C-alpha cells in the first residue's frame, strides 16, 4: 500500500518521529494535534480556545490535499479533564462540523500541559 506524508508550515511541526498526516487508500490520517499556534507556539488558557486552535491545526493539514473538516469521518479526542471540560469542548467542537457529524471517540488522558488533543481520519474529496 503506497502512503504519502503530508506536511505544512500551517500546523505545529512534529516533536518526534511521526508525520503531520499520511495519505493512503483515499483517506488522510492526521497526527494528534495540540493547541499550539504554529507561528507563535502560544496556547489559549481554556478548553474552548484550545479546541478551536486544535481544529485549525487539523484543518491546515487537511487543506494540503484539498480536504476540509466536512470530509472528516472519524475523530479521536483526548481531554485532560473530561469531567470538567466536556460541555465547553463539545460546544466549540460542534461549531466546526456539520451533519452528518463524524464518528467520535472522546477519552480522558494525561496530556502534559494541554487540555485537548485531536486526530482525525478524512476521506479525500477525489475518493468520495
CATH fold of 4-127 reads: 60s Ribosomal Protein L30; Chain: A; (3.30.1330)
The Cβ-side half-sphere exposure at 91, using a 13 Å CA radius, reads 7
> Does the pLDDT value for residue 127 go beyond 90?
no
Summarised one tens digit per residue, pLDDT across range 52-109 is 999 999 999 999 999 999 999 999 999 999 999 999 999 999 999 999 999 999 999 9
Ramachandran angles phi, psi of 3, nearest 5°: -140, 150
Q: How many Å apart are CA 97 and CA 124, to the nearest integer?
A: 16
Q: How many Å apart are CA 35 and CA 117, to the nearest integer?
A: 7
Contact in structure between 83 and 114 (CB atoms under 8 Å): no
> Does the pLDDT value for residue 115 go beyond 80?
yes
Place of cell 473538516: 69
Contact in structure between 95 and 56 (CB atoms under 8 Å): no
Task: Provide, rounded to the nearest whole percent, the portion of the chain with pLDDT above 70.
Answer: 98
Summarised one tens digit per residue, pLDDT across range 9-50 is 999 999 899 999 999 999 999 999 999 999 999 999 999 999
Q: How many Å apart are CA 85 and CA 62, to the nearest integer?
A: 26
Q: How many Å apart are CA 77 and CA 57, to the nearest integer?
A: 14
- Nearest C-alpha neighbor of 26 from the set 121, 109, 123: 123
Place of cell 485531536: 118
Specify the pTM: 0.95
Amino acid at each position: 500500500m503506497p502512503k504519502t506524508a503530508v506536511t505544512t508550515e500551517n500546523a505545529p511541526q512534529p516533536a518526534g518521529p511521526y508525520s503531520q498526516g499520511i495519505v493512503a487508500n483515499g483517506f488522510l490520517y492526521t497526527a494528534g494535534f495540540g493547541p499550539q499556534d504554529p507561528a507563535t507556539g502560544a496556547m489559549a488558557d481554556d478548553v474552548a480556545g484550545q479546541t478551536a486552535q486544535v481544529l485549525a491545526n487539523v484543518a491546515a493539514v487537511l487543506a494540503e490535499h484539498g480536504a476540509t473538516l466536512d470530509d472528516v469521518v472519524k475523530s479521536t479526542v483526548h481531554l485532560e479533564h473530561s469531567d470538567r471540560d466536556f460541555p465547553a469542548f463539545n460546544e466549540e467542537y460542534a461549531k466546526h462540523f456539520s451533519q452528518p457529524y463524524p464518528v467520535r471517540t472522546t477519552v480522558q488522558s494525561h496530556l502534559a500541559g494541554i487540555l485537548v488533543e485531536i486526530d482525525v481520519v478524512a476521506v479525500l474529496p477525489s475518493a468520495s
